[in-house]
Structure 1
Amino acid sequence: MSDPHPARALEKEDKRTFLQKVVEFIHPGPDSPEELIETLAEAESNDVIGADSRVMLERVIRMADMTAGDVMVAAPRMDLLDIDAPFEELLRVVISTAHSRFPVYQGERENIIGILMAKDLLKLQRAPELNIRALLRPAVFVPESKGLNDLLREFRGNRNHLAVVIDEFGRVAGLVTIEDVLEQIVGEIEDEFDIAEDEGDIFGLADHTFRVSGDTPIERVAEAFGVAIAGSDPEESFETIGGLIAHEMGHVPKRGEQTVLAGLQFVVLHTKGGAVRWFKVAPVAQDNTQSP
């Protein structure tokens, strides 16, 4: 009887051949991670493996020496929810930051009492009598020295996607997500905010503010908000709003930083690769407008 899935059988055969080639190439085997990485580079140059495969394998090797502290979001940059805040304030933070999970604290930011899923706020909206504490999920705490390999294994095992990182003194040092770990292997993971430029760059939000892509042309922002946008240095020329604001700030903006330009308040929402991917933008009152 003929194989009903000849293509699948061929695929398996190709995979075996690929592995055999790699094993034969590295035999008798490198003595250190550095030698293994050099061997992979040589394998790529000899067309044994592709460039993408070599990069991913190299990242896996290097990740063995990385810890939670290497990839975490530092504590000052964490987006937290206050258990005692009114529902409207919680909803505002969720909308403006657009995360799916939030550490929740009581009293001081150091006192994290659980994790709230953004989708669970819908339950509060439908049944305001519910206690938000009943919606909290246990927070997972890991030390800064936690190896990424072990952390990924735990994320997969307990189905948690976020952990609070603790320093050697037991204080909150930051947080790490499963996406932070996976990006060490596959590179930056595009999310729902990473929209192609031709699909849009300015979006209205529920709280009557706007989400603006950092690579939006300055002219586009000026036209959308009906303002004239210019930097403080007339000799400098910029094409994107992200480039102009970074110049005005004098450094690469970090999440949570804000400035006022041309009567508009720009709050950094999301950064990747040293550049601002998204701003939250809203007009400010005329008497509060000031140069950055």
Structure 2
Amino acid sequence: MVSKNDPSQFHRSSYHHMGDKGSTRMVRVGSRSFPVYPLVIVCLVLLNIILSLAAVVVGINCGSITDFPQNDLMPQVLKTEVEQLQRATSETAHDRQAQEDFVKEHMSNQQIKLQLQSNKTYNDELQKQLELLQAERAALQSNTSDIVESCGLCMPGWFLSNTSCYFYGKRQSTIGKNWTTSREDCINRGADLAVFDTAEEHIMVFEHLPKVKWGTYLWGIGGAWIGLTDHQREGTWMWINNVTLNYTGFWMGGEPNNYGSGEHCVGVMITDKGLKSLFDARCESQREWLCEKKLS
């Protein structure tokens, strides 16, 4: 008899070989026997499934661990980006507003500049008109004064002395007239170069003529031509009305001297040294001139 509890017997019954070719290894579990190879395959498949499930579980856990900080930081990152975008938008709007303000200010400044230029031009025109009006007023006042002083007997720009009206022709800049052209100008005005018939008349006209300081005049251009020459005879001074000069106390010191043997015309120069004012000079020199028109 063989006992059921004999291990050796169980071992032999669990793992025995069939002597014939093509026999299959069997394993006995309890009262049943199963082929070995299918059972091994099933075990391997179950193990593979278990390992796959374990890998999936581990992957999910790792993914959760990895994603957790990112999911937690995402709102903060988005918030930071939104704030940066808002700041950039605000700065852009501020810059755009600054540019618009600059353009407006520049245009305003240009308008102000143009207005100032226009005002300056207008003021310059007003200043010119004012100067013209002042000059006209001065001329009118001078003419009125001349008319009043001459009791209306002389034309504007002329002065009355004794029984004649006199016109003092002034040079333009440095350009005067020689003796001949001076007389032509007087004739064109209905007069002639001045003639002092007497010393008294000389003295009366003397008071109306412009005066220069002694030593400041120029002999070459100073003084004014009058109607006195020695053309007819050297040294004999005759007025243009053919009357000989009958007084001699009004010659300047050293005059007449016929300097250079060519001085044949006479001028008058009023200085601060008294009544001595006559001098002889070359007739072609450029000077001012004195016209006289007798009252009829």
Query: Which category of TM-score, normalised to the shorter sequence, fits these structures?
Result: under 0.3
Which has more strand, going by share of residues?
Answer: 1
Which has more helix, going by share of residues?
Answer: 2
The TM-score normalised by the length of structure 1 is 0.20
Q: Which has the higher contact order (CA 8 A, sep 6+)?
A: 2
